[in-house]
């Protein structure tokens, strides 16, 4: 499984359109993804000041558009998806929130991609 962090508004738009096309796809040419091991560090580094975030759990990504790359300044490879993301590849969704200490925690409860939210 791979994961992507997004806003609630982005989640709703993707569900309605059947396609997820975040700004990073236009700006950088790919969608930033994380492995389960990388999600929390990614959330802390890039989303520390944001609330209302959701985590998309992805499976079945076409391997021709998925590349693991090591960004400059990192020692670890991150998955990058070089195409818009079909909503059918989203398996589950969950809010990702901080604990009382302000640190993001991995969700313990997941909803199916088209569940009422």
> What's the gap between Cα 7 and its chain centre?
10
Q: Say if residue 32's pLDDT is above 90.
A: yes
Task: Delineate the domains of the chain, giving CATH numbers in brackets.
Answer: 2-112 (3.20.170.20)
Express each pLDDT in 60-98 by its tens digit: 999 999 999 999 998 999 999 999 999 999 999 999 999
CB atoms within 10 A of CB 67: 13
| Residue bearing tokens 């700004």 | 23
At residue 63, the pLDDT reads 94
Q: Give the pLDDT mean for 5-28.
A: 95
At residue 72, the pLDDT reads 92
Rounded Cα distance, 78 and 66, in Å = 10
Q: Work out the mean pLDDT of the chain and round it to a whole number.
A: 95
pTM exceeds 0.85: yes
At residue 49, the pLDDT reads 86
């Amino acid at each position: 499984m791979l994961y992507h962090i997004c806003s609630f508004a982005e989640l709703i738009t993707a569900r309605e359109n059947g396609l997820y096309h975040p700004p990073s796809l236009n700006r950088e040419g790919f969608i930033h993804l994380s492995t389960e091991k990388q999600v929390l560090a990614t959330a802390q580094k890039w989303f520390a000041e944001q609330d209302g975030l959701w985590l998309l759990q992805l499976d079945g990504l076409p391997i021709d558009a998925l590349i693991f790359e090591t960004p400059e300044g990192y020692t670890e490879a991150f998955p990058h998806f070089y195409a818009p993301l079909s909503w059918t590849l989203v398996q589950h969704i969950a809010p990702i929130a901080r604990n009382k200490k302000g640190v993001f925690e991995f969700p313990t409860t997941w909803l199916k991609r088209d569940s009422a939210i």
